[in-house]
Amino acid sequence: MLIKRGLATFFCCTLFLLLAFTAYADDAATEVIDAEITLHNDHYVVSADMVYQLSKRATAALQSGVPLFWSIQIKLLQPRHLLWDKTLFTTEIHYRLQYHALLNSYRVTNQNSRETFNFSTLYAALDLMSAIHDIPLIEKSKLSLKEDYLCALKVKFDGDLLPLPLRPLAYIDKQWFLSSNWTLWPLKK
């Protein structure tokens, strides 16, 4: 009886925390403002624009030399009846943003292509990460004309790559909720 009551309390607390997290997630600082899929040489490609907004604490951490990591997650989904969506394709673009005190500049590294970009302002650095162009999704021939498909995009702030002391706080502090929600839009054939 007691164990049941304890478990009930535990689940209630967990649910409350999840709801709290969901509420925080609704206030996500990053947003996907535009996304489209186009057909390019028999390949569907995706282009999107995002807006990053850093909290005061995240900006302070960045100014103190703490590198910040984001990953832009792109998925092609096939909705199914009574089942979860089937993932046909998934890709991620990883960015690393760091401040260089010596040169007073911001360095963005695309960890997929190993390209590095230096910017004198934070705005310019974030601007680089704000747009993706023609990321190939899937060949047209691999898709059925009868089926409907969805494209999902999310900018995820990777808190697990923060310095260790910051990680526990990053799970509970709203200032570190820098991810966007999933944005879904249909694939037009």
Partner 1 sequence: MASEKVKLPVNLFALILFGLILLSLQLMSSATQESSELSALYSWLLLINSLGSIVLLTLVGANIYTLIKHTKKREAGSRLTRRMVSLFVILALAPAVIVFYFSMQFLHQGIDSWFNVEIDRALEDALELSQSSLDQRMRWHLKQTQQLTKKLEDSSENREALELENLRELSGASEMTLFSRQGRIIASSSINPGDILPSLPDRNIWLQLRQNGEYIAVAPAHEEKLMVRVIAKVNIQEPQYLQALYPIPVRIYDLADSVEFAFVRYKEMKFLRHSLKISFSLALSLVLLMSLLAAIWVAFISIRNIIEPVKQLVKGTQAVASGHYDEQLPVFAQDDLGFLVESFNEMTHRIAMASDETRIAGIEVENQRAYLETILANLTAGVISFDASYNIRTANQAAYRIFHIHVNQFIGRQLLDLLKDRPELTEPLKSIQRSLEQADDIWQQRIAFLGPNGRQELLCRGTPLYSQEGLRVGGIVVFDDVTDLMQAQKNAAWGEVARRLAHEIKNPLTPIQLSAERLQHKLADKLDAADAEMLKRSTRTIVHQVEAMKEMVDDFSEYAQPSKKETVDIDLSRLIQEILALYALKSGVKFKTHYETGLLMVNGDSISLRQVLHNLIKNALEAIGAEGLIEISVHRVQKNNTDFIELALYDDGPGIKDDQIESIFEPYVTTKTKGTGLGLAIVKKIIEEHGGAIWIDTSRKVGAGFIIQLPACHPEPL
6 contributes a contact to partner 1 by CB under 8 A: yes
166 contributes a contact to partner 1 by CB under 8 A: yes
Residue with structure tokens 């944005």?
183
Please check whether residue 145 is in contact with residue 135, taking contact to mean a CB–CB distance below 8 angstroms: no
111 contributes a contact to partner 1 by CB under 8 A: no
> What letter does residue 7 receive in the DSSP assignment?
H
- 41 by Cβ neighbours in 10 Å (0-12 / 13-18 / 19+) ranks as exposed
115 contributes a contact to partner 1 by CB under 8 A: no
CB atoms near residue 127 (< 10 Å): 14
Cα distances (Å, whole numbers) of residue 57 to 62, 132, 164, 166: 8, 26, 16, 11
CB of 3 or CB of 145, closer to partner 1: 3
- Partnered with residue 31 across adjacent β-strands are 51
Radius of gyration in angstroms for the set of CA atoms belonging to the chain, rounded to a whole number = 20
102 contributes a contact to partner 1 by CB under 8 A: yes
Q: Tell me the window of 25-33, 77-85, 116-124, 143-151 that interacts with partner 1 (CB under 8 A).
A: 116-124
For residue 10, the minimal CB distance to partner 1 (Å) is 6
Of 31, 119, 135, 175, which one interacts with partner 1 (CB under 8 A)?
119
CB of 136 or CB of 163, closer to partner 1: 163
Structure tokens at 15: 């649910």
For residue 99, the minimal CB distance to partner 1 (Å) is 8
Residues that bind partner 1 (CB under 8 A): 2-3, 6, 10, 60-61, 64-66, 100-104, 107, 116, 118-120, 124, 160, 163-169, 171
